Structure 1
């Protein structure tokens, strides 16, 4: 189907599309095109793995059973669709609404005192044990790249590599 649709699009773009290949659905356009060009018509750039023939025919699914229905807006419930235009609330209104929420559940005693029966706190991992700020061999202000609006992630990587180079 995609190969035929590509051919239809190409011919329509070039203005060489035969009249009568219009339709409301994809399947109707394909059927009309195949009736005009022939059932065994193959687009010129089709791959040999997907070529169809009389032995292996290419059949288009019949979608003529589709019925269209115009949905009226009178029967729809606007309260169910919150994302329609005009139903948005400003951030300030949402903030005020969130402040007025009252929670009815009480907190557990273990929540108020984290030392009892809670997980032990771990010491934060550090990259190195020495204090870089007190190291007198390094200048107090490192040379860095100046950040601008067109800077990219590579700038920060280069800056990090430069600082590693200076430190060692």
Structure 2
């Protein structure tokens, strides 16, 4: 199974401020993001899950949370750890699972990722949540597609021979 993080981030790696995007909405980015993750399970933190309850992404939501709990959503699964979340995704016969945030979840999963799909928003923004830094030696930029108001980058973990 391929593990892919998906995020929109500014040049200073800001991904959010007060639970919202710090830049004006970019509908084209939201459409490509929703389309990409629509048919696969997503892995996210409890706060991100709760913020999306009105419009849940993915075909299943794997919610990483320290507290043991049930969710009143049929497609939601509780995970206690990175390994637990990956096992749940594999049990759903997923070829791909998408890691969609927040900051702590991105950081926890960074060592396990196979790919990163990043919407790079020009400019620096004030924020309180960030996408983690990564070692350029461990990643290869596979593609870069310019759009109006963002550039979509696909990064692949570099293999060592």
Bigger share in helix: 1
Please indicate, yes or no, whether the TM-score normalized by the shorter chain is above 0.5. no
- TM-score tier, shorter chain, comes to under 0.3
Give the TM-score of the pair, scaled to structure 2: 0.21
Q: Which has the higher contact order (CA 8 A, sep 6+)?
A: 2
For the pair shown, the structure with the greater C-alpha radius of gyration is 1
Give the TM-score of the pair, scaled to structure 1: 0.20
Bigger share in strand: 2
